[in-house]
Amino acid sequence: MSSEQYHPAQKLKVTQEQAGQRLDNFLFARFRQLPRARIYRMLRKGEVRVNGGRTRQSYRIRPGDELRLPPVRLPAAGEAVPIAGRDLRAVAGAVLHEDADLLVLDKPAGLAVHAGSGVDYGVIEVLRELRPAEPFLELAHRLDRGTSGCLLLARNRRTLMALHESWRRGGVRKQYLALVAGRWRGGRRRVDLPLERVGAEGAQRRTRVDADGKRARSLFEPVERFDVATLMRVTIDTGRTHQIRVHAAELGYPLLGDDHYGDFALNRRWRKRGLKRLALHAWRLAFTLPGEHEPRAFEAPLPPDLTTVVEALRG
């Protein structure tokens, strides 16, 4: 007997509550069991129609838009990929803050934020397993799988839209702690290099500096220098994919443990010294929601695995 269920093509109208989302994000939420690569393929091939026509994945759906969704086969009820107990425990113990509108986690390194190509589940799927009665829970932003630290989720549509608006107008301040290769020379350094994503959607993609790319700004500040590495604080007011990693590599100080843009031979040596992950941690997240006057700020302390490496460098 098949372990899949066939869902025929359907048409639906976008409600006021649903409006404002990117089309791809709407589809990710609607077809949570599907790999992201399959959803991107739907969009590329025009299987998803908005008001009768094809549109970009970045299109923000509007109230009254008519969506035509293609037929799909989804895993039958009870066929979901089992979530490892260690991941359930890690996420359950990672809550930094919770109120009626927000959930803030200290995301563990090595756990993706959502399922995707080659990834059976991520933080959002783990949370839905832990909180089956939660009526609404959506990611407000993303972190790389290898990055730990502050991850923000919205507990209602109103808050999610407010957070997206805050991001669009540059009202979110994100600060990271990173270990870079080499002893940093000089003081703080601002980097303003545009970035472009290359490679097919849903496949293994990279980010590169490109004059025609999107603007990306990073501020690097040395916190503690060692002979062979430097602990940096990095502040960004744009959120391009792999922004800190690419900017650091362009400066000649790649992040330790970076298997995309780093020094591979150096990373092998650091693994022998105990660094088995990307040395990047989302330390602080601060923002002011539209209509509010007081900023909100959340911090996640440097995790034990990175703290151990820093202590070893001090010794």
Tally Cβ neighbours within 10 Å of residue 139. 21
- Residues whose CB is less than 8 angstroms from the CB of residue 100 and which lie 6 or more positions away in sequence, other chains included: 155, 156
Tokens matching residue 153: 């989720």
Tally Cβ neighbours within 10 Å of residue 96. 18
- Residue 87 among the catalytic residues: no
- Going by the DSSP 8-state scheme, the letter that residue 83 receives in this structure is P
Is the CB of residue 220 less than 8 Å from the CB of residue 248?
A: yes
Q: At CA 123, angle to CA 117 and CA 125, rounded to 5?
A: 75
Residue in 101, 144, 210, 259 annotated catalytic: 144
Tokens 């990173």: give the residue.
178
Calpha distance 203→198 (Å, rounded): 10
E strand segments, 86-236:
95-98, 102-107, 138-139, 148-154, 172-181, 189-192, 195-198, 206-209, 217-225, 229-236
Is the CB of residue 61 less than 8 Å from the CB of residue 18?
A: yes
Is the CB of residue 277 less than 8 Å from the CB of residue 257?
A: yes
Tokens matching residue 7: 């869902």
Tokens matching residue 89: 């425990």
* Residues marked as catalytic: 144
